[in-house]
Amino acid sequence: DEAELIQSLVKRILTKLKNTPLGVAKYPVGLERRFEELKRIVNVNSKGVLILGFHGMGGIGKTTLAKALYNKLVVHFRRRSFVPKIREASRMEGGLESLQAKLISNLTSSKESGQRIENVGAGIDLIRSLAFEEPVFIVLDDVDDLRQIKALAGSRDWFYEGTRIIVTTRDKEVLPESIVNVFYEVKELTSPEALQLFSFHAFGRDQPNKSLKGAAEEIVALTGGLPLALEVFGSFLYDKRRAEEWRDALQKLRWIRPQSLQDVLMISFNALDDQEKCVFLDIACFFVQMTMTREDAIYILRGCGLNPEITIKVLTAKSLLKIIEDGILWMHDQIRDMGREIVQRENYDHPSMRSRLWDRNEILTVLKNKKSAFAYFIEMCKTCFPWKQDNEEVVTLQTTCFTRMVDLRLLQINHVALDGGFEHIPAELKWLQWKGCPLKTFPFDNCPQDLGVLDLSESKITSMRERRHSKKQVQKEKNPLTRVRFFSCLPSLNSFKKSIKFSRWQKN
Ligand SMILES: Nc1ncnc2c1ncn2[C@@H]1O[C@H](COP(=O)(O)OP(=O)(O)OP(=O)(O)O)[C@@H](O)[C@H]1O
Ligand SMILES: [Mg+2]
């Protein structure tokens, strides 16, 4: 009938708009059953303000359920917002304000990424004034601190009648009963659902092969209905069809702590070869947080002498890595955290002994503290990524602190000033990102020999060192820079086009 037609039209138009609907799991299972349970609670036709708290352990499917429900209900609301990754985003400086800005820009459907919010109080006032005009539908995903809810949905009486808000969290304790009026525990999948999900990943269909049915059932029982574990372990077994391989896998599962997601994920990691492990760790420690595309990651990793195309394919086949919209690399938090923990475990006490450093404070301590930097094997430290936060003083690092890092492959020193000669930058360096480089002149007399990518975007460089960097020299170099980002500001470089690939970087 007409109403239905209009509904479906509205839905199709909405799909075209940004912010909805969201991609849910590849093989969703058990969602309909949960919708049935939630239908009565959420009832969009009833009055009143509902703030619904989803709680349950990591990887159980809270975000997936919230997304699916969002997609289902979003047609009923003109103003709506799905705010992802609240736990992570609020760790950053000004994180709460930027989350508020995101919520506000979604609710006003403004195209801009959001106005700047001076402070949390001002953000609250703005949200309240918007939310009081008409019913809104909001999902606050992955909350782990009371302050986050207080800043985004601090009280039911901020909101217009008919408003629906879903808050998800691993820790029920952070959801105060004064704000959240209904709690919903997201529980494990039932055994048949778990077997179905596992089979999708292990066999590419909704039930196991006959010959492996017994093993599959046992695996499902051991992984305890945790979707992420089923996904990763199922994918781990996808290319394995021999009974011994399955017996082996089962044996490994029996040894782990019951229902320990991290342990299940580790089995999959341990089965990777060295190169796959290396790429996995680079992605977990750096690339996912940089929202890097698959293409850029491949470019960088190839520069490091790896075979990234195949490796990334393997990692995605094993469900350890996903490629989301616009080709961006994505990892589930739990998987990323496992990767980071593997690196931290290389040496808990001394960050300078680890293969990768990504925590700004740890990096600065390692680099600034000459004593420790020279006492430990800094060459272990293959990758460093400090980054600048807003309204912060420029950090100056001595170039000499890199002397010991002979294995350094990837270095990100955005908005950092360097002091000292550039001959200390390790010759092995493959990728250097130095956005906002404060120098006026191109810093290198001789670029590190193996450098494949030099990204000096947003920098102040206006001239080259004429004498050394003649066209001839760049062409003569064994491994000339293959890609220089944002060098269009350098007129003198235009003549180097043959040896320096400007490619698409130049556009942005
Ligand atoms: N019902 C489901 N059907 C199929 N796959 C699912 C389902 N629920 C979750 N998954 C898969 O399991 C993984 C973990 O789910 P999700 O991210 O929703 O967990 P979470 O509870 O939000 O975890 P965290 O607390 O770490 O945020 C995802 O990769 C998702 O694709
Ligand atoms: Mg989640």
Do both 380 and 437 map to the same domain? Answer: yes
> Strand pairing partners for 284?
none
Comparing C-alpha atoms, which of 248, 258, 310 is closest to residue 279?
310
Could you say which ligand is closest to the alpha carbon of residue 57? 1
Cα dist from 51 to 73, 168, 189, 503, whole Å: 15, 11, 24, 49
Q: Report which secondary-structure segment, H or E, holds 54.
A: strand 50-55
- What is the rounded average pLDDT of the residues 70-86? 91
Query: Is residue 25 lining ligand 1, measured as CB closer than 6 Å?
Result: yes
Do both 323 and 440 map to the same domain? Answer: no
Which of 22, 64, 166 best tests ligand 1's pocket when mutated (most atoms within 8 Å of CB)? 64
- Total of domains in the chain: 4
pLDDT tens readout for residues 391-427: 566 777 788 877 777 777 888 887 778 888 888 887 7
CB atoms within 10 A of CB 481: 18
Last residue of a domain, one of 338, 364, 389: 338
Inform me whether the pLDDT recorded for 290 exceeds 90.
Answer: no
Ligand 1 atom nearest residue 169's Cα: 25
**Gap between the Cα atoms of 427 and 121, Å rounded:** 50
Last residue of a domain, one of 218, 249, 270: 270
**Gap between the Cα atoms of 489 and 28, Å rounded:** 49
> Strand pairing partners for 323?
329
56-65 in b/e form (b: 16+ CB < 10 A) is: bbebbbbbbb
Which residues fall inside 5 Å of ion ligand 2, going by CB? 63, 142
Do both 96 and 20 map to the same domain? Answer: yes
> What percent of the chain shows pLDDT beyond 70?
82
Could you say which ligand is closest to the alpha carbon of residue 54? 1
- What is the rounded average pLDDT of the residues 124-140? 93
State the CATH number of the domain containing residue 455.
3.80.10
CB atoms within 10 A of CB 207: 14
Do both 31 and 114 map to the same domain? Answer: yes
pLDDT tens readout for residues 424-454: 887 778 788 887 788 877 777 667 777 777 7
Query: Is residue 234 lining ligand 1, measured as CB closer than 6 Å?
Result: no
Task: Answer whether 327's CB lies under 8 Å from 298's CB.
Answer: no
**Gap between the Cα atoms of 325 and 327, Å rounded:** 5
Ligand 1 atom nearest residue 30's Cα: 1
State the CATH number of the domain containing residue 39.
3.40.50.300
Backbone angles phi, psi at 35, to 5 degrees: -60, -40
Do both 161 and 242 map to the same domain? Answer: no
Could you say which ligand is closest to the alpha carbon of residue 169? 1
Cα dist from 418 to 79, 217, 395, 441, 442, whole Å: 48, 58, 8, 13, 13
pLDDT band at 116 (very low <50, low <70, confident <90, very high): confident
**List of residues 6+ apart from 94 with CB closer than 8 A:** 390
Task: Answer whether 463's CB lies under 8 Å from 492's CB.
Answer: yes
Query: Is residue 31 lining ligand 1, measured as CB closer than 6 Å?
Result: yes
- Tokens in use for 445? 């007399």
Structural domain of residue 290, as residue ranges? 274-338
**Gap between the Cα atoms of 142 and 138, Å rounded:** 13
Ligand 1 atom nearest residue 61's Cα: 18
Rounded distance from Cα 107 to ligand 1 centre (Å): 26
Do both 383 and 330 map to the same domain? Answer: no
Comparing C-alpha atoms, which of 193, 315, 318, 198 is closest to residue 250?
198
Cα dist from 369 to 81, 111, 319, 365, whole Å: 45, 45, 39, 6
Query: Is residue 84 lining ligand 1, measured as CB closer than 6 Å?
Result: no
Which of 35, 38, 63 best tests ligand 1's pocket when mutated (most atoms within 8 Å of CB)? 63
Ligand 1 atom nearest residue 67's Cα: 18
**Gap between the Cα atoms of 265 and 75, Å rounded:** 37
Are β-strands 322-323 and 329-330 bridged in parallel, bridged antiparallel, or unpaired?
Answer: antiparallel
Task: Answer whether 411's CB lies under 8 Å from 431's CB.
Answer: yes
- Tokens in use for 139? 């999902």
Average pLDDT, the chain: 81
Atom 13 of ligand 1: nearest residue by CA position: 228
**Gap between the Cα atoms of 41 and 130, Å rounded:** 25
Inform me whether the pLDDT recorded for 261 exceeds 50.
Answer: yes
**Gap between the Cα atoms of 155 and 49, Å rounded:** 10
Last residue of a domain, one of 150, 185, 220: 185
Rounded distance from Cα 56 to ligand 1 centre (Å): 11
SS3 content of the chain, % helix, strand, coil (to 5): 50, 10, 40
Query: Is residue 311 lining ligand 1, measured as CB closer than 6 Å?
Result: no
Task: Answer whether 401's CB lies under 8 Å from 373's CB.
Answer: yes
> Strand pairing partners for 138?
81, 165
Atom 30 of ligand 1: nearest residue by CA position: 25
Do both 359 and 503 map to the same domain? Answer: yes
Rounded distance from Cα 58 to ligand 2 centre (Å): 7
Task: Please give the pLDDT value at position 436.
Answer: 77
Could you say which ligand is closest to the alpha carbon of residue 66? 1
What letter represents residue 494's amino acid?
A: N
CA-based end-to-end distance of the chain: 49
Comparing C-alpha atoms, which of 501, 434, 506, 446 is closest to residue 477?
446
Do both 24 and 68 map to the same domain? Answer: yes
Task: Please give the pLDDT value at position 378.
Answer: 41
Q: Does residue 16 or residue 448 have the better pLDDT?
A: 448
> Strand pairing partners for 185?
55
Inform me whether the pLDDT recorded for 86 exceeds 70.
Answer: yes
DSSP state of 349: S
**Gap between the Cα atoms of 244 and 218, Å rounded:** 15
Rounded distance from Cα 193 to ligand 1 centre (Å): 13
Query: Is residue 55 lining ligand 1, measured as CB closer than 6 Å?
Result: no
Ligand 1 atom nearest residue 226's Cα: 12
- What is the rounded average pLDDT of the residues 131-143? 93
pLDDT tens readout for residues 149-181: 999 999 999 999 999 999 999 999 999 999 999
Pick the range with the lowest mean pLDDT from 265-269, 289-293, 339-343, 381-385.
Answer: 381-385
Task: Please give the pLDDT value at position 389.
Answer: 54
Which of 27, 228, 260 best tests ligand 1's pocket when mutated (most atoms within 8 Å of CB)? 228
Task: Please give the pLDDT value at position 372.
Answer: 42
Pick the range with the lowest mean pLDDT from 248-257, 462-471, 483-492.
Answer: 483-492
**List of residues 6+ apart from 479 with CB closer than 8 A:** 449, 450, 451, 452
Query: Is residue 334 lining ligand 1, measured as CB closer than 6 Å?
Result: yes
pLDDT band at 10 (very low <50, low <70, confident <90, very high): confident
Q: Report which secondary-structure segment, H or E, holds 476.
A: helix 471-476
Do both 423 and 463 map to the same domain? Answer: yes
Rounded to 10°, the helix 333-346/261-270 angle is 70
Four-residue CA torsion sign, 221, 30, 171, 351: positive
Query: Is residue 333 lining ligand 1, measured as CB closer than 6 Å?
Result: yes
Do both 158 and 266 map to the same domain? Answer: no
**Gap between the Cα atoms of 139 and 132, Å rounded:** 17
State the CATH number of the domain containing residue 288.
1.10.10
Q: Does residue 114 or residue 147 have the better pLDDT?
A: 147
**Gap between the Cα atoms of 425 and 411, Å rounded:** 10
Atom 14 of ligand 1: nearest residue by CA position: 59
Do both 310 and 257 map to the same domain? Answer: no
Query: Is residue 282 lining ligand 1, measured as CB closer than 6 Å?
Result: no
Do both 266 and 278 map to the same domain? Answer: no
